[in-house]
Structure 1
Amino acid sequence: MTDAAHATDPAAAYAGAPRLLPEIVFVLRQAQIRRRFGTEQGREFWLRKADVFDRIAIEEAATYAPEVAATAVDAAANAARQLAEYDVTHTGLSLRGSDVVTAEDCRRYVRRQYREWSRTQRF
């Protein structure tokens, strides 16, 4: 799929991704494990967490009125910001240099990063 298609259809970034439920289970298990042992979450956790919230928000926004979907959209923006902040801290990403400034920029960043990451995964 072309980048233009990804720009017009946010869900296209998740074509071929695992179903949402296994992704939710992964995020929950990782959160429990890290909490139990007091270790820091890795990038895969933040990416997959942002993926989960973004996919839910995309579905909510496509299904419901904006005021109904707002909670899911806000949660997706927060999770996307967490990934961006992780990358700033651990990789030297410059948010302004990467045009990752607004909530929607962060969500687009998640989609690009997930698309790149998923190309190396076997689902």
Structure 2
Amino acid sequence: MFEIRIICDPADTGRVTDALSEAFTVGPVRQHPTRDGQRKRLYVTADHRTNTRPWPGPDEAYTLAPSIIREITWTADQAATKPFGTRLPRDFWLRKAALLDRIALQEEPQSSGAGAADIATEAAERLMHLDDATVICDPRAYVRQQYAHWIKHQ
């Protein structure tokens, strides 16, 4: 547990306390005026938030996703239109990893060996490396979480 002190404009206090509540488990926010009376001092006791939300499953993560054929086309177009050696943006790697995960999910019930699942895991690990992710989880679950967040904000 730790104490946070923030000095901000009075108009920003609501936005600041909302952001703190999203980032940490917080107690009541105590407000005091600054010495000059122009700003507010906010004091809050906080603790690190544990990730209590479950990782989204494939159905939840890919509900808003375009068709697999459309994603294959988009991914191929993005890779083909960039000059060789051009660094592709994160969205490309996220969408590619999600596409490969979706393909692997269709194959998994009838597959007994390596194949699409291994390729999907490699793409997911590449995304985690690109993101410098420090979470310990199934790489494909990480892709689903990131994709679900990304697609909702598009």
Counterpart secondary structure, 1:41: coil
Query: 2:111 maps to what in 1?
Result: 65
Residue aligning to 2:89: 42
1:10 aligns with 2:58: yes
After TM superposition, the score normalised by the length of structure 2 is 0.60
* Mapping of residues 1-123 of structure 1, within 5 Å: 6=56, 9-34=57-82, 36=83, 38-62=85-109, 64-67=110-113, 70-88=114-132, 93-94=133-134, 98-100=135-137, 105-121=138-154
Contact kept? 1:11, 1:58, Cα under 8 Å: no
CA distance in 2, matches of 1:21, 1:109: 23
Q: Which runs of 4+ in 1 moved over 3 A?
A: 3-6
- Measured after TM superposition, the shift of residue 30 of structure 1 is 1.1
How many correspondences in the alignment? 102
Larger RCO of the pair (alpha carbons < 8 Å, separation 6+)? 1
Distance apart, 1:55 and its partner CA = 0.1
% identity of equivalent residues: 40
The structural deviation recorded for 1:12 is: 3.0
Paired amino acid for 2:95: R
Aligned partners of 1:5 and 1:12 also within 8 Å: no
The answer to which structure has the higher helix fraction is 1
Given that residues 100 and 116 in structure 2 are in contact (C-alpha distance below 8 angstroms), is that contact kept between their aligned partners in structure 1?
Answer: yes
Q: Deviation digits for residues 7-53 of structure 1, max 9, x if unmatched?
A: xx43331012111111111111111122x253101100000000110
Kindly provide the amino acid, as one letter, of the partner of residue 100 in structure 2.
F
Which residue identity is paired with 2:73? Answer: V
Letter in 1 for 2:97: A
Where do 5+ consecutive residues of structure 1 fail to align?
none
TM-score under structure 1 normalisation?
0.74
More strand by share: 2
Q: How many Å separate the matches in 2 of 1:10 and 1:37?
A: 33
Q: What letter is aligned with 2:101?
A: D
Q: 1:117 to 1:75 in 2, by over 3 A?
A: same
Contact conserved, 1:50 with 1:110, CA < 8 A, in 2? yes
